[in-house]
Amino acid sequence: MKYPLKLHVNQRTYNLEVYPSQNLRDVLREELGLTGTKEGCSTGNCGACTVIMNGMSVKSCLILALQADGKEILTVEGLSTNGQLHPLQESFIDKQAVQCGYCTPGMLMSAKALLDQNPNPTEEEVRDGLHGNICRCTGYVKIVEAVLDAAEKIGQ
């Protein structure tokens, strides 16, 4: 049977009904149409479904949608505000950190969670903070550069 679910996503509140077995990722993508959050593996390894829940990065494929009841969720669609790109988004463009783009949203969310906790990370800390997100195109090189660049911009 379905259960009521109140989700606060990107500062909008949704009242839904979902099955207990549904994961947060599928609800975001299929019920809310927020397909910026990607499906890549469903085993919690690729990180393409990473969202920020109550300030923490989590893999939305490994969370029951009902466990997110009442929580504040930020997806890639909520990263820019009033049409203004987040510094991470700007840096990903400027530093050419995007290739196929399928890992990009999850990567951005992990990077945001990292910078929220550690505004001034070293290269090693960025590599460590992103290792839960797989990218098959870039070798992570320009992604790490972009995160360091964004940290600098935010710091200014």
Partner 1 sequence: MNMFYYEPKTFQEACDLLNKYQDDAKLIAGGQSLMILLRQKVVVPEHLINLKNIKEGAYIKEEGGELKIGALTTHRQIEKSPLVREKLPAFAEVFSGIGSVQVRNWGTIGGNLAHSDPAGDLAPILMVLGARVRVISKSNSNEMPLESFITGYLETKLRASEMLQEIIIPLSKAKSGMAYEKESVRAGDMAMASAAAFIEIGSKGITRAKVVVGAVGEMPIRLENLEKELQGQGSKGELHIDPKFDQSIIRMDPYVSKEYKYEISKVKLRNVIQTAFERAKQA
Partner 2 sequence: MSELNVVGKSVKRYDALEKVTGKAPFVYDMFLPDMLWAKVLRSPYPHAKIIKIDTTEAEKLPGVVGILTAADLPKTNHGAGLIDEPTMAIDRVRFVGEPVVAVAAESEDIAQEALTLIDVEYEELPGVFDPEIAMQTNPPSIIHPDLRSYSFSPVVPPAFDDDKPNVYNHYKIRHGNLEAGFQQADVVIENRFTTAMMQHCQMEPHVAVARAEVNGDITVWTSAQTIYGIKQMLCDALQMSSSKVRVIVPYVGGGYGGKVEIKTEAIAVGLAMKTRRPVRFAFTREEVFTSASVRHPSVIYVKDGVKKDGTLVAREVKVILNGGAYSAYGYLTVRNASFGAVGTYKVPNFKLDSYGVYTNLPIGGAFRGFGSNQVCWAIECQMDRIADHLNIDPVELRRKNLLSEGEINVSGETTHSYGTKECLEKVVEEIGYNQPKGESKGPWKRGRGIGLANKYSIAPTSSCAIIKLHDDGYVELRTSADEMGQGSRTVLAQIAAEEFNVEFDKVKVVAGDTLITPYDQGSISSRTTYNTGNAVRLACEDAKRQLFKQAAKKLEAPPEKLETANGRVFVKGSPDRSIAFGDLFIPTMFASGKVLKQGAELLGKATWYQFASAEDKETGQGTRVVAFYIHGATGAEVEVNEETGEVRVIKAVSAFDMGKAINPELCEQQIEGGIGMGIGAALYEEMAFDNGAVLNPNFMDYKIPTSREIPGPSNVKSFIVEANHPDGPFGAKGIGEGVTISVGPAIQAAINDAVGIRLGDMPMTRERVFQALSRKKA
Task: Enumerate binding residues for partner 1 (CB under 8 A).
Answer: 1, 3, 19-21, 23, 42-44, 47, 50, 56-59, 61-64, 66-67, 69, 110, 113-114, 128-129, 131-133
Cβ 69 to partner 2 shortest distance, Å: 22
Minimum distance from residue 134 beta carbon to partner 2 (Å): 6
The one-letter amino acid code at 92 reads F
Q: At what angle do helices 87-94 and 141-155 cross, to 10 degrees?
A: 140
- 83 burial class (0-12, 13-18, 19+ CB within 10 angstroms)? exposed
Residue 101 binding target from partner 1, partner 2, none, CB below 5 to 8 Å by type: partner 2
Please report how many Cα atoms fall inside a 13 Å half-sphere around the Cα of residue 61, on the Cβ side.
15
Q: Choose the contact partner of 27 out of partner 1, partner 2, none; CB within 5 to 8 A by kind.
A: none
